Amino acid sequence: MTPCRSCGSNAVELFYETGPVPVHSCLMVSTREAALKFPRGSLALGFCGDCGFIMNTRFDPARLSYTPEYEETQGFSERFRRFATDLCADQIEKYGLRGKVLLEIGCGKGEFLSQMCAMGNNRGIGIDPSYRPERTDAETAARIQFIQELYSEKFGDLKADYVCCRHTLEHIPDVREFVGMIRRSLDRRPDTIVFFEVPDVGRVLTEHAFWDIYYEHCSYFTLGSLARLFRACGFQILDLHKVFDDQYLVIEARPGTDGKRFEIEEPVEKTRVDIELFKSWVADRLDGLRGQLDRFRSAGRRAVVWGSGSKAVSYLTTLEIRDELEYVVDINPHKHGKYLAGSGHEIVSPEFLRRYRPDAVIVMNPIYKEEIQADLERLGVRAELFLI
């Protein structure tokens, strides 16, 4: 068994395996044929009994490529924009980020960094291989230097007052090496604040949310395992909490040690219990959701999935859904007319539903329920909403 990539321990136990899964879930695919033939990789989650870290033990980073065709933005959702705005305001206020230089590792299309710079009159450096210059307006481009590459040791000399890294660490296999590299870059700048945001695996386990497990995410954290990793790398943790209806974990830290523990940190034993429950329930969960789709189909009812991100790819491919439903809806216009990797479902706009008239809408993330309901009302589509 692979040693733990967070603490190096050999106490890693396998607890969840699936058939081969698409290696990417946010890469846009232009034809159904290519989507069905999309490269697949193995998924076998292991749990470290020493630090609580969870990882795909069969992950192969060589299978992935984050190109500009990578479409991860959630910025078309009003609910998500509100969350991002609140987060920016909170960070600017908390750490006095005005007139500063901010570095974002894994900035995607640069939306968060642009907002942090605009709201706090900051300058920025954004690093991401999937960045697309045409999505940045001139005013933002003047404030921010974008580097279309993967972050590596060579960027350690970039000077910044604040380093943020959102929804990136879970895509990195060697998390100890990665967080250690960032810590080393701050040796001569011990006042730099770092901010990391990742999904909460504790929620995935307790809700048996198998659709939140996919190939791109090779590393999974609880607040406890995240805090242990940062401390081991020489960070002093300033704050540790959950955001976005408790779906995401946030850690704020700076170089140093103070040994402070937060009450909210789950002990390894709590994660072990959650894993046992996940193991005993996940098969029922899969059967239940499959049965639901079979019932729709045999009753002649049309269902669509709303949300074409990684959750949908994992939900449709894990359940091996093909003809049970035809379309996946997304509000991001960059995705319309493309196909979902693995399952081959076409991605359509909400407007398409005016003609298609589905009976049921399967909502991939309950946080968008109200927004989806409002969209359906606006379109005059009467469909039953199912939150998975």
| Interface with Zn ion (CB under 5 A) | 4, 6-7, 9, 48, 50-51, 53
The pairing of beta strand 248-255 with beta strand 346-348: unpaired
> Which residue, 220 or 248, is less far from Zn ion as judged by CB?
220
Taking the complex as a whole, the smallest distance from the CB of residue 175 to Zn ion amounts, in Å, to 10
Please state, in angstroms and rounded to a whole number, the distance separating the CA atoms of residues 106 and 304: 31
Spatial neighbors of 110 by CB under 8 A, at least 6 apart, are 104, 126, 128, 131, 135, 136, 140, 144, 146
Taking the complex as a whole, the smallest distance from the CB of residue 272 to Zn ion amounts, in Å, to 13
Please state, in angstroms and rounded to a whole number, the distance separating the CA atoms of residues 82 and 60: 36
Taking the complex as a whole, the smallest distance from the CB of residue 128 to Zn ion amounts, in Å, to 28
Spatial neighbors of 364 by CB under 8 A, at least 6 apart, are 211, 305, 306, 307, 309, 311, 312, 315, 388
> Which residue, 50 or 346, is less far from Zn ion as judged by CB?
50
Taking the complex as a whole, the smallest distance from the CB of residue 11 to Zn ion amounts, in Å, to 7
- 3 state SS of 90: helix
Taking the complex as a whole, the smallest distance from the CB of residue 8 to Zn ion amounts, in Å, to 7
Please state, in angstroms and rounded to a whole number, the distance separating the CA atoms of residues 178 and 252: 16
Taking the complex as a whole, the smallest distance from the CB of residue 9 to Zn ion amounts, in Å, to 5
> Which residue, 133 or 267, is less far from Zn ion as judged by CB?
267
> Which residue, 9 or 280, is less far from Zn ion as judged by CB?
9
> Which residue, 51 or 282, is less far from Zn ion as judged by CB?
51
For residues 21, 27, 30, 36, the Cα torsion angle rounded to the nearest 10 degrees is: 0
Please state, in angstroms and rounded to a whole number, the distance separating the CA atoms of residues 64 and 78: 30
How many CA atoms lie within 13 Å of 72's alpha carbon, on the beta-carbon side? Answer: 23
> Which residue, 72 or 274, is less far from Zn ion as judged by CB?
274
Taking the complex as a whole, the smallest distance from the CB of residue 55 to Zn ion amounts, in Å, to 9
> Which residue, 11 or 243, is less far from Zn ion as judged by CB?
11
Please, are residues 102 and 164 in contact by the beta-carbon 8 Å criterion? yes
> Which residue, 232 or 367, is less far from Zn ion as judged by CB?
232
Taking the complex as a whole, the smallest distance from the CB of residue 198 to Zn ion amounts, in Å, to 16
The label of the residue with tokens 């002649």 reads: 300
Please state, in angstroms and rounded to a whole number, the distance separating the CA atoms of residues 166 and 248: 10
